[in-house]
Amino acid sequence: MIEVVDAIDRQVRLERPARRVVSLVPSETVSLADLVGVDRLVGRTDYCVEPLGAVERIPSVGGTKGFDVDAVKALRPDLVLANKEENSRPQVQALIAAGVPVHVSFPCTLDESIAYLENLSLLLGLDPDDADPLLECRAAMRRTARTRLTPPLPVFVPIWKDPWMTFGRGAYASDILEACGASNVFSERARRYPLAADLGKASPWSEERIAARDTRYPRIRLEEALERGARVVLLPDEPYAFGPDDVNELSALGVPHPLIVERVDGKDLFWYGTRAALAIDRLGVCIESLHSICFGARANN
């Protein structure tokens, strides 16, 4: 019997290692493939497009939010991989109610990403202390510059526009930035409700009225990035497809001392799991280079 506790405090029990897996999360599809290949993958979402050349033959069950519950059940999975944030709660609950074994993840830090990989390894019948992709992630974490760059590089990472959005502390991306030597200038900026309050045009609701709403993704005025001391904008290519006009707008924000705008792979920031090993090394190199530009000889290595 294999037994793990998932991110919503459920006991996930399998009589034997999972052989028929449906992944409802793109980054978890990659983690599964890295750990055991794609032969055990019997279903995926439209957005599970990596590893390229390997997942295209796997049938899709729809989107991450709008997947087809009946299509998932028809695949007779002995494990479904879901995420608390990325997947629709009613549909995940419908799978659980139907008796389908579902593991729900929600890593918000690198440490929690490692814990997720340990759970996944066990569910797949692997020893977490002998799974190479997991060992690579642990090794990459030991190489992080969490305390190596002084001062940390103050960065702003937009994730949407109209209105502009970013993330605060509690988001996985904020933790991996910190690990790689950056400081998210919006780390302490909670999302305010309603929208007008988030944009500084109205009084915010009380904590009691906000209740359990997610406050990790504030809507902001661009000027806030300067007010909070940003020196660099890391511009990801997902979830929003920023273009050249956005680069120009962000670059001009700090005139006469314009911000540095550096394009980065959004998967490095937002895809937890085995992707973290590559992401840590790439972000670390990028941030260290930008730190040298901003602080020169003051960089403490």
Beta bridge partners of 297: none
Q: What percent of the chain has pLDDT over 70?
A: 98
Helices 26-36 and 132-142 pack at an angle, to 10 degrees, of 110
Lowest mean pLDDT, pick from 86-90, 96-100, 212-216, 288-292: 212-216
Q: Tell me what the pLDDT averaged over the chain comes to.
A: 94
Which range (19-33, 46-60, 205-219, 264-278) has the least confidence?
205-219
* Residue range(s) occupied by CATH 3.40.50.1980 in the chain: 2-130, 153-298
Spelled out in words, what is the top-level CATH class assigned to the domain 2-130?
Answer: alpha beta
Q: Which fold has domain 153-298?
A: Rossmann fold (3.40.50)
User: Which tens digits make up the pLDDT trace of 73-82?
Assistant: 999 999 999 9
Are the CB atoms for 194 and 169 separated by under 8 Å? no
Segment 231-281, tens digit of pLDDT: 999 999 999 999 999 999 999 887 777 899 999 999 999 999 999 999 999
Alpha carbon dihedral 103, 109, 110, 114, in 10-degree steps, equals: -30
Write down the pLDDT at residue 297: 55
Q: Of 46, 61, 54, which Cα lies nearest the Cα of 100?
A: 61
Q: Using CA atoms, how far apart are residues 125 and 18, in angstroms rounded to an integer?
A: 7
DSSP per residue, 248-288: HHHHGGGTTSPPEEEEE-HHHHH--TTHHHHHHHHHHHHHH
**Edge-to-edge, what's the strand order for the sheet holding 41-43?**
41-43, 21-23, 79-83, 102-105
Residue 95: count other Cβ atoms within 10 Å of its Cβ.
21
Question: Do 161 and 117 contact (CB within 8 A), yes or no?
Answer: no
CA neighbours within 13 Å on the CB side: how many for 67? 35
pTM here is 0.93
